[in-house]
């Protein structure tokens, strides 16, 4: 979730409720400040996914952009199992370095402090775990950045 990048694209007409989950309450407050009025149905939950899961609801769409680098992938799958149902889409974005620093650009220090757990996402490990839970890949996009990093987006649907 972070501070809610991308939530400007949420349509009030088609979206019943948006849950925002993050370990950082300050980010969630900023997110609410930015988007609560616009979305109308934003609910934030401050939790550390390594110790606690969100269990209140199942959802149609899970978005995890640039989050998998900070959390245990198996904990992410555990959370996904709890909130998904047939048809649920999970959309993830992660970065591949190609020799660039793991984190670059502005805000580096802030992001470095977020979590002890930093890793490069193991694509096949992620895919295998998702397949094991009945998710099939429906979209794959790659975007090269000027600094040698690559952004990878995968969308999966639960069968």
Ligand X SMILES: C[S@@+](CC[C@H](N)C(=O)[O-])C[C@H]1O[C@@H](n2cnc3c(N)ncnc32)[C@H](O)[C@@H]1O
DSSP H or E run through 45: strand 42-46
Provide the minimum distance between the beta carbon of 80 and ligand X in the complex, in angstroms, as a whole number. Answer: 14
By beta-carbon proximity to ligand X, the closer residue of 134 and 150 is: 150
Instruction: Verify binding: residue 48, ligand X, rule CB under 6 A.
Output: yes
Task: Give residues 8-47 in contact with ligand X (rule: CB under 6 A).
Answer: 22-24, 27
Instruction: Verify binding: residue 49, ligand X, rule CB under 6 A.
Output: yes
Q: Which residue is it, tokens 């934030």?
A: 44
Tokens of 62: 């899970």
Backbone angles phi, psi at 81, to 5 degrees: -60, -35
Tokens of 85: 């149902």
By beta-carbon proximity to ligand X, the closer residue of 68 and 130 is: 68
Q: Rounded to an integer, what distance in angstroms lies between the CA atom of residue 31 and that of residue 142?
A: 27
Instruction: Verify binding: residue 111, ligand X, rule CB under 6 A.
Output: yes
CA atoms within a 13 Å half-sphere pointing along the CA-CB vector of 120: 14
By beta-carbon proximity to ligand X, the closer residue of 47 and 134 is: 47
Number of residues counted as binding ligand X (CB under 6 A): 18
Binding residues for ligand X, rule: CB under 6 A, are 2-3, 5, 22-24, 27, 48-50, 65-67, 70-71, 111, 114-115
């Amino acid at each position: 979730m972070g501070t809610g990048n991308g939530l400007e694209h949420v349509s009030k007409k088609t979206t019943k409720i948006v849950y925002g989950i993050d370990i950082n309450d300050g980010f969630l407050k900023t997110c609410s400040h930015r988007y609560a009025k616009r979305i109308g149905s934003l609910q934030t939950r401050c939790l550390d996914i390594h110790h606690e899961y969100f269990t209140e609801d199942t959802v149609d769409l899970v978005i995890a952009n640039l989050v998998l680098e900070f959390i245990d992938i198996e904990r992410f799958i555990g959370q996904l199992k709890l909130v998904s149902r047939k048809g649920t889409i999970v959309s993830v974005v992660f970065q591949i370095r190609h020799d660039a620093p793991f984190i670059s650009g502005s805000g580096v220090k802030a992001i470095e402090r977020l979590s002890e757990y930093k890793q490069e996402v193991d694509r096949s490990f992620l895919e295998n775990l998702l397949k094991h839970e009945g998710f099939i890949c429906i979209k794959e996009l790659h975007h090269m950045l000027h600094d040698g990093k690559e952004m990878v987006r995968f969308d999966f649907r639960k069968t």
